[in-house]
Structure formats: structure tokens, C-alpha cells
Amino acid sequence: MAGLIAGYCWRGALPVGGLLAGAVVSVMMAGAAVAAECRTFNIQHRTSNVLTCCSLLLLAAGVALAGMARYEMERGRLAEWDALALPAREARLVVEVSRVFVPKPGQDWVSGMGRVVGTEAHLRDVTGQRVYFSMARAWPGVESEWAPTPGERLRVLGVLTPLPKHPDTMAEGASPFDGYLADSGVNFRFTRGLVEERVTEAGWYQRWLEGMRGRFSRTLGAGLETERGRALAGLYRAMVLGQKHELEAAGGEGRKELFLQSGTMHLFAISGLHVGVIALAIDCLLGVARVPSAWRFLAGAGLLWLYVAITGASPSAVRAWVMAVFLMGAWRLRLPGGSLAALTASAVMVLLIRPLELFTASFQLSYGIVAALLLLSVPLQEALSARWRLFAWLPAAALAWWQRAFSGMWRFVLGLGCMGLAATLVSMVAGPMFFGLFTPLAFLANLVLVPLAGLVLTAGFMSLSLGLLPGLEWASVVFNRAAGVVLWFMEAVARWEAALPGAFFAAEFRPAWAGPALLGGLLAVLALGYERKWPAGWRGVAAPVGFVALVLVLWMRFTTLPAS
């Protein structure tokens, strides 16, 4: 990870060959130090300790050099384009579509990401580059509502513009989206595109996913055909299928800003919450079917992947799936290590496959929040439940049914409070860094809306599952209308919270590097507290809360003054 960060911070081009050679030499020297340590261990203990330190330092240096080389290889910057600062130009490219940003209704263009697989002779060096594209939805022989499918190859005429390695997103008039593209390894924008022909169609699997996506969207709209119902159906699809363009459909204008200002926009990105609820629902169904444990794990992972793929397989959803698979594997297969080990293993696997994910907001938010839940929320809830146990004077076996019910509800409330505290600590640092918003009252909204979102996701899962079975469409309607009532209440709570004085302020960290450094510092404080059992005492809350308060006072700056 240190090597990836060093490669990211390095402004010029990195010599990949030299870095890899240095990594190999460092690892070989570490191996030689280990061999020497084995020979001297029983002779001179002090010498053995020195050799141990040397071997660890050399190994760390080798891994860091390899990480820097991997970063440079993943970015794939073209030295000639960087050195000469080549301008934008007209180009005819063959683009293989990898991701599509679903257009809004009535929008006459569509955008997404892809890879260049064919060019004209004078642009041969662009082959293999990742590009962000935007192109007209209408082209000869195709209707105006067309949108590309991942896996398609299209020949497109457009304008190719190089992106800087590190766009200055803080400059006046700069687009934060350029920073997102650079962090995703995209080096070019390909805009004003006109599709000339479809070179290759998408495979059968991608076409099947596209068909299921449309079917799921129709299923979630069943029973919500009124004007108000269509607005709620858009909210429903946005939450269950991650179709955020549906937020403002059917008279829902301003919803995106509403949920950003209330600090609850994360409910509409397919991530850990969504994948976790769906994984639990799938596991319950497989349990009812009495599927054996090992097969239950494999079937659950496969069905969960289908959900992720049908929703578009966004990077955050894929990461959440990897995290869920590791957690399910540790639980179902009784593997050693527990939740923290599974979380760490999933992060390592994601970074081995897609190292540039480390620099994206969704990676830092998803792993940051889950790590905070495991490091602070879980042990704090256990400590508070033991300290503030209801009916503590009675043995557990002697409790009546109503006493057990009250105790369960009390533990649930404590759990919600601890989860809200952990998530709020991370979001207070991440909000100004990623969204330019400081939302001090988001804790209130999340305390109510996160459990309700779990109910909506469960209803959505049941609706989609029953909608696949002939003759049970009426059951989908029942679940959809129940979810609509919950969504109406959730929107009302978000509006109430966003309307409170001081609910949100425009803010940012200055300097810009302070945000990522402070988020890492918060996780380090939580890890230190977890290792030293702080959550069992007052320091478990005081240390991270004090750290966040200090961070906000020293480095956060309001970009507009709050209304008096």
C-alpha cells in the first residue's frame, strides 16, 4: 500500500524496469539476511536481532518498490503525450464498453468508460488506454433511446482529449469528475462521439444481464402506477438496483441534493449495506431449504454475484461482494481469523486485482466505515450491553418472555447507537473530503434511515424473487407497496433533517492532502483502541471523538458561511 501511495504522489514518470529490478534485489537481500539469521541465531542473539530488522526492512522496501511499479503500469501514462502536452484532436476509435452511466429520461447522449481496442495509424499508441466516453444516443439505423451494453465494441468518431495525471480539482472551474477519472486510471476523455457502426455485439451473458435488469426494474414498479407511486418507484429502484438516475424521475426533482444534504446519499450506492442485506436474505432462504453449509456458501456467493452483476457491477458493489464472500467463508466454513481478518483479506485481494481502487472515494468510504464498525461499534456495543444490562439482578434463565423481549430491544437500540457513532465519525472526515459537505446532523437521519433501508432492501429482494415465479406477481405488488410506505417516511425524515438549522455546510479540507491523511489517522486511532481494549471504557469513545474534533477545528474550512 505504501508503494501505491508513493507512486500516486510522484509527479513524474516512474522507471518501471528499475523499480522492478530494485524490488527483486531487495527481496533477494532479505532472503539472504534470513538465511544468515538462521545460521547465527544460536550463537549471537544480538546479531540475530539486527539481521531480523534488516530482513524486514529490505522486504518492506522490495514490496514498496513493486507497488510503485504496479501503480505506474496500471496508470499506463503515455510519456510522449505528457512531455509534449499534446492538444485535443479528432479521432476515430474502436471502443470496447466496460461501464455505462445510465442516461436520464430524454437525455440525447450517453456516457461511460471503456478501453480503446482499435485506432487509426497515427494514434496507434492510444490502443489499450482506458477512456471516458460520451456519445450521441441516435445513429443510423438505431432509435434515439439506445444505450450501449458492456462488452460491445463500437467504432466512434469524436474528440480525444488527454487528461493530466493529477487534475487540480480545487482550481476555480475545475471538474471533480476529472479527479475521479484519474483515480480510476483513465487517461483520456473521448467526447462528442458519433457512433459509425457496431463492430462486435455484447456476449450472451451481458445481454442476459441487461434483460434481467429491465425485468427487475419493471417488477419493482408493479403496484406503484399512480403519479405519487411512480415517484416512489424511482426511489425504490435507486435503492435496490442502484439506478441513481431514477432519484429524480416522475416528479422527484431535487432528491439527489436532499439526500446529499442530509448525509444519506450512501443509501443509493450499491455497497456494503445493500450486499450485506441481500446476502443475509439469500442465506436465510438457503437455510429454509436446508442446504448443507459448504454448498450454502457456494450457492450464496453465486446468487449474490448475480445480484451485483444485474445491478451493473459497479466497483463499490464488486468490492462489497468480495468482502461479503470472505466474511461468509469465515463464518460458514469455520475458518480462523474472524471478521477483521476477512475484511483485511478482501481489501488485499481487491488491491491486487485493481490497485487503483485505493484512491477512489468509494473504496476509502466502504472499507473505512466497515473497519470503524468492527473496530469500534461491535466491541463498544458488547461493553455497553454488559454494563447497562436490563434486569441485571436476575439470572438469564429466570427472565420472563417480556423481559427477554425488552432486553433484546435494548441491545438493538444500543447497537444502532454504536453503529451510528462509528459511521458518523468516518463520514464527518469523509464528507468534506469527497462531497464538499459537512453534515453534523447526519447521525440523526442515519440512526432512523439505515434500519429502514434494510427493510426496503429486504422487501425488494422478496419482490424480485417472487416476481420470477409465475402466478405470484400479486405478492410482488404487496411487498412493493409496503416498501413504498417506508420510502415515503424515509424521504419525509430526510427533508425534516435537512431543513434543521446547521444540518449541512459547504466545507473542505485545506490543504487537500489533509483529508486522506486524517482519514487514515482516524482508522489508526480506532485500531490502536481496539488492540488496547479501549471500547470497554470511556477512552473507546473519547479518543476517536477527540481526534475527529481536533481534525475538524485545525484543517476544515467552510467555503460558504452558514445562514444565521
Mean pLDDT of the chain: 82
Closest CA to 437 of 558, 331, 323, 542: 558
Quick check: is 96 in a domain?
yes
pLDDT at 44 over 60: no
Q: How confident is the model at residue 463 (pLDDT cuts 50, 70, 90)?
A: very high
Closest CA to 420 of 389, 380, 382, 455: 380
Residues 50 and 147 in one domain: no
Q: How confident is the model at residue 479 (pLDDT cuts 50, 70, 90)?
A: very high
What pLDDT is stored for residue 482 in this prediction? 93
Q: How confident is the model at residue 143 (pLDDT cuts 50, 70, 90)?
A: low
Closest CA to 139 of 130, 151, 148, 149: 148
Residues 121 and 161 in one domain: yes
What pLDDT is stored for residue 304 in this prediction? 92
* Cis status of the peptide bond prior to 15, with omega within 30 of 0: no
**Number of neighbouring beta carbons within 10 Å of residue 208:** 13
Location of C-alpha cell 413504498: 484
Q: What is the CA radius of gyration of the chain?
A: 26
Domain count, the chain: 2
> Of 206, 236, 269, which residue is a domain's last?
206
Mean per-residue pLDDT, 256-267: 82
Q: What is the pLDDT of residues 337-373, one digit of tens each?
A: 577 887 888 888 888 888 888 888 878 888 888 888 8
Q: How confident is the model at residue 505 (pLDDT cuts 50, 70, 90)?
A: confident
Q: 44-53, 65-74, 91-100, 201-210: which has the highest mean pLDDT?
A: 91-100
Q: CA angle, corner 518, sides to 515 and 521, nearest 5?
A: 155
What pLDDT is stored for residue 561 in this prediction? 45
> Of 157, 176, 206, which residue is a domain's last?
206
DSSP-based three-state secondary structure for 184: coil
Q: What is the pLDDT of residues 401-414, one digit of tens each?
A: 788 888 888 887 88
Quick check: is 305 in a domain?
no
Residues 162 and 150 in one domain: yes
Residues 8 and 107 in one domain: no
Residues 85 and 175 in one domain: yes
Quick check: is 514 in a domain?
no
Quick check: is 500 in a domain?
no
Residues 59 and 153 in one domain: no
Residues 70 and 83 in one domain: no
Residues 138 and 197 in one domain: yes
pLDDT at 562 over 50: no
Q: How far apart are CA 278 and CA 282, in angstroms?
A: 6
Q: How far apart are CA 530 and CA 109, in angstroms?
A: 50
Mean per-residue pLDDT, 128-154: 82
> Of 206, 228, 250, which residue is a domain's last?
206
495 close to 448: Cβ distance less than 8 angstroms:
no
Q: How confident is the model at residue 252 (pLDDT cuts 50, 70, 90)?
A: low
**Number of neighbouring beta carbons within 10 Å of residue 191:** 17
Weakest-pLDDT range from 224-238, 381-395, 519-533: 381-395
What pLDDT is stored for residue 91 in this prediction? 92
Quick check: is 367 in a domain?
no
What is the rounded end-to-end Cα distance, in angstroms, of the chain? 44
pLDDT at 382 over 60: yes
Within 13 Å and on the Cβ side, how many CA atoms surround 15? 6
For the beta sheet containing 437-438, the strands, ordered from the edge strand earlier in sequence to the opposite edge, are: 437-438, 505-509, 556-558
Weakest-pLDDT range from 102-106, 378-382, 554-558: 102-106
pLDDT at 187 over 60: yes
Q: How far apart are CA 40 and CA 32, in angstroms?
A: 12
> What range defines the domain where residue 54 resides?
2-75
Higher pLDDT, 34 or 328: 328
What pLDDT is stored for residue 153 in this prediction? 92
Mean per-residue pLDDT, 462-467: 90
Higher pLDDT, 132 or 15: 132
pLDDT at 442 over 70: yes
pLDDT at 45 over 60: no
Residues 92 and 187 in one domain: yes
Q: What's the predicted TM-score (pTM) here? A: 0.81
Residues 169 and 85 in one domain: yes
What pLDDT is stored for residue 563 in this prediction? 45
pLDDT at 144 over 90: no
Closest CA to 95 of 156, 166, 17: 156
CA dist 170 to 37, 167, 219, 553, 554, Å? 51, 9, 43, 20, 19
Q: How far apart are CA 118 and CA 111, in angstroms?
A: 19
Q: How far apart are CA 158 and CA 123, in angstroms?
A: 13
Residues 53 and 137 in one domain: no
Quick check: is 366 in a domain?
no
User: Alpha carbon 476 to chain centroid distance?
Assistant: 29
Q: How confident is the model at residue 481 (pLDDT cuts 50, 70, 90)?
A: very high
What pLDDT is stored for residue 251 in this prediction? 59
Mean per-residue pLDDT, 36-41: 64
Quick check: is 17 in a domain?
yes
Residues 128 and 14 in one domain: no
What pLDDT is stored for residue 96 in this prediction? 94
Higher pLDDT, 365 or 490: 490
Location of C-alpha cell 500500500: 1
What pLDDT is stored for residue 260 in this prediction? 82
pLDDT at 12 over 80: no
DSSP-based three-state secondary structure for 23: helix
Quick check: is 504 in a domain?
no
